[in-house]
Amino acid sequence: MGWDQFSPQPALPQTKTVAEFFAGIGLVRLGLEKEGWTIAFANDIDEQKKEMYDAHFVDTQDHFLLKDVHHIRVKSVPSVVLATASFPCNDLSLAGARMGLSGEQSSAFWGFIRILKAMKERRPPLVLIENVPGFLTSHDGKDFKMAMTALNRLGYAVDPFIIDAARFVPQSRQRLFVIGRQNFAQEITNLHNQISAESELRPPALASFISRNPKIDWAIRSLPPPPKKRKSLEDLLEPDSATEWWGTERAEYLLNQMSLRHRKIADKMIAGKDWSYGTVFRRVRNAKSMAELRVDGTAGCLRTPRGGSGRQILFKAGKGRYQVRLLTPRECARLMGADNYRIDETTTLNQALFGFGDAVCVPVIRWIAKNYLNPLVEELGQRPQNSNGKKHSAVA
């Protein structure tokens, strides 16, 4: 089993408390708070993200620790019901170097595991980790398998699923989530005797991974489908008067960077009787910078603006004209479901884009809390005692 697997867990506190690792600007907190959770601890290493966190939340000094996760002393972390970890995706993303969990950034996951291990009997009964879908395929699945095994060794049976933020907001943003729940050896879910893993939230690649790894302690839970998106990109845009449009020369340069296929779409938009909207990312294709246009009413995935290529561009066209500008920090906040997030006037554009581009979509977290975490907390709190005085885990 390794380490101290299946150690008894403490009784659940009455308050749904959470320790948020890799907290960034606090969007996981926002989603959980809307479903009755209370922040007890937050941690991040990025000073600029903490500045944004400070500008929105008024209680930072009570619980925020600005420190490398590898250097956190376990006694600094309070006892909580849930620990979350949206650890860096740089080494797991398809856009990165794919160094995996041994990479400089994504290896922060092991710092989180170290803390859980050191907490021993104070270990949270629930954990929630989040990362890009590339986590599943990194190093041919070896990284994901190592991560799930590490959680198993700490007594957590695991349940992975994938949610696209586009089901909640007009932004294409797929993310892989894993919920771990403390368990006992005799109570581990038998996947084949319960439900089929494949579903809308567990697409074929993920379901296949689950079935190919029966030695991992899975606790697959049946979940309802996420809601349908109700807003389009246009609904979230700021008034023209509140934005800064590019000059003619810069706008023409972007238009001329489009491929023939994308340019035809842009020209059709320009010729339209009404204004229409799309978003553009610059990408390198065949060693050449190209502008790729998306016009389905959904923005591309917000990214951190490293090198400038991660900045998402708004393309507005119609009535024989077109206009071009960057998405604003407020529009990025809305695309993350954080419509009312306070953005200080001293926050720079790049700082805001980094903050929101590295964050987790608020309504996705709220949905997970409402449909998974909250019912699970209630079930775990009602487990009957077994003959050894330990509580049995509820059937998923």
DSSP 333: H
SS (H, E, C) 156-225: EEEEEEEEEHHHCCCECCEEEEEEEEECCHHHCCCHHHCCCCCCCCCCHHHHHHHHHCCCCCECCCCCCC
Structure token digits, residue 232:
């389009």
Return mean pLDDT, the chain: 86
CA atoms within 13 A on the CB side of 7: 18
Tell me the whole-structure pTM to 2 decimals: 0.89
Assess whether 218 and 261 both reside in one domain.
no
Same structural domain, 206 and 248: no
- 46 and 177 together in one domain: yes
Q: Of residues 194 and 246, which shows the higher confidence score?
A: 246
Q: How many structural domains comprise the chain?
A: 2
Q: Is the pLDDT of residue 77 over 70?
A: yes
Is residue 328 scored above 70 in pLDDT? Answer: yes
What percent of the chain stands above pLDDT 90?
A: 69
Shared-domain flag, residues 180 and 42: yes
Flag whether 337 is in a domain: no
Q: What is the pLDDT of residue 306?
A: 64
Residue 61: what pLDDT?
Answer: 87
Binning pLDDT at 50, 70 and 90, where does residue 381 land?
confident
Predicted pLDDT at 286: 80
Beta carbons of 128 and 373 less than 8 angstroms apart: yes
pLDDT at 122: 96
Which of 5-19, 197-211, 363-377 has the lowest average pLDDT?
5-19
Residue 88 sits in the same domain as residue 169: yes
Residue 75: CB atoms within 10 Å = 9
Per-residue model confidence as pLDDT tens digits over 117-141:
999 999 999 999 999 998 898 888 8
Shared domain check, 244 and 104: no
Per-residue pLDDT at 1: 38
Q: Which residues are registered as beta bridge partners of 21?
A: 85
User: Worst-scoring range by mean pLDDT, 104-113, 273-282, 348-357?
Assistant: 104-113
Q: What tokens does 178 get? A: 């894993």
Domain boundaries, position 306: 239-327
The CA distance from 133 to 367, in Å, is 19
pLDDT value of residue 386? 38
Half-sphere exposure of 299 (CA within 13 A, CB side): 30
pLDDT of 164-213, one tens digit each?
Answer: 999 999 999 999 999 999 964 434 444 444 445 788 899 999 999 999 99
In a domain, 386, yes or no: no
Dist CA 108 CA 103 (whole Å) = 9
244 shares its domain with 361: no
Q: Which of 306, 327, 348 is the last residue of a domain?
A: 327
- Is 392 part of a structural domain of the chain? no
CATH of the domain at 73: 3.40.50.150
What was the pLDDT predicted at 285? 83
pLDDT of residue 12: 56
Looking at the fold, whether 165 and 112 belong to one and the same domain comes out as yes
Same domain, 189 and 306: no
Which stretch of DSSP H or E encloses residue 35?
none
Could you tell me how far CA 74 lies from the centroid of its own chain? 25
Confidence (pLDDT) at 68: 92
